[in-house]
């Protein structure tokens, strides 16, 4: 009905330069790891939840290849039991906490100033294996520039990651 009313027809294919993945088990984690494996210059990350070991390892591998990797996480990652933040920091990857927002709900990566990974897909095992989520991989330097500007704005009010002790239930 919408297509008839608006004159729009559903697209049967994805536009050039865009890839789309759905979870569960739709290859989103593999797509992220692949993009990180091809990085040659820089990776900027903003993540709400970050518990995916394969993605964390791919970031570390990129860092070891000389790629500049910088991460901004939601404050919840200070106490998240399975957060990869400690691993990243231990591997000397600059890891920040977005200290300004109630929830830093971004789930994005910008690779080499031209590739944007974005969507509802959290960088977690749960997102890959159980949740209904989506990931877009967009090859567009103009869009990447907008995302980089936003990333740097958040960097400006973020603080260095330090783990907080988890509060125990009484």
User: Residue 35's domain is classified under what CATH number?
Assistant: 3.30.870.10
Residue 28 domain-assigned (yes or no): yes
Confidence of residue 169 (pLDDT cuts 50, 70, 90): very low
Does residue 170 sit within a domain? no
Question: Tens digits of per-residue pLDDT, 114-165?
Answer: 999 999 999 999 999 999 999 999 999 999 999 999 999 999 999 999 877 5
Q: Going by DSSP bridges, is the β-strand pair 68-73/42-47 parallel, antiparallel, or unpaired?
A: parallel
Active site residues: 105, 107, 112
Does residue 139 form part of some domain? Answer: yes
pLDDT value at residue 165: 58
Confidence of residue 97 (pLDDT cuts 50, 70, 90): very high
How does strand 133-139 pair with strand 18-23? antiparallel
Tell me if 9 is assigned to some domain: no
Q: Which domain holds residue 94?
A: 15-160
Instruction: Tell me what pLDDT residue 34 has.
Output: 98
Burial label for 20, CB within 10 Å (0-12, 13-18, 19+), is middle
Q: Kindly report the CA angle at 113 between 108 and 115, in degrees rounded to 5?
A: 55
Q: What is the dihedral of CA 48, 49, 50, 51, to 10 degrees?
A: 180
pLDDT of residue 14: 77
Within a domain: 167? no
Answer yes or no: is 108 within a domain. Answer: yes
The overall average pLDDT reported for the chain is 90
Q: Which of 92, 87, 98 is nearest to 152 (CA)?
A: 98
pTM, full prediction = 0.88
Domain membership flag for residue 8: no
The domain total for the chain is 1
Average pLDDT, integer, range 93-110: 95
Q: Is the pLDDT of residue 2 over 70?
A: no
**What is the CB neighbour count within 10 angstroms for residue 63?**
20
- Residue 10: pLDDT over 50: no
Other Cβ atoms closer than 10 A to 66: 9
Does the residue 165 lie in any domain?
Answer: no
The percentage of residues in the chain with a pLDDT greater than 70, rounded to a whole number, is: 89
């Amino acid at each position: 009905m919408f297509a008839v009313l608006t004159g729009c027809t559903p697209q049967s294919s994805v536009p050039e330069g865009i890839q789309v993945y759905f979870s569960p088990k739709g290859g989103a984690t593999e797509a992220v790891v692949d993009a990180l494996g091809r990085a040659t210059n820089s990776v900027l990350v903003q993540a709400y939840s970050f518990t995916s070991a394969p993605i964390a390892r791919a970031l570390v591998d990129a860092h070891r290849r000389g790629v500049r990797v910088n991460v901004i996480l939601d404050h919840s990652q200070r106490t998240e039991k399975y957060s990869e933040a400690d691993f990243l920091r231990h591997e000397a990857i600059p890891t920040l906490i977005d200290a300004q927002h109630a929830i830093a709900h971004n789930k994005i990566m910008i690779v080499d100033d031209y590739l944007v990974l974005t969507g509802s897909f959290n960088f977690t095992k749960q997102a890959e294996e159980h949740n209904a989520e989506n990931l877009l991989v967009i090859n567009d330097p103009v869009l990447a520039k907008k995302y980089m500007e936003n990333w740097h704005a958040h960097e400006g009010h973020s603080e260095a990651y330090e783990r907080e002790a988890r509060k125990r239930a009484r």
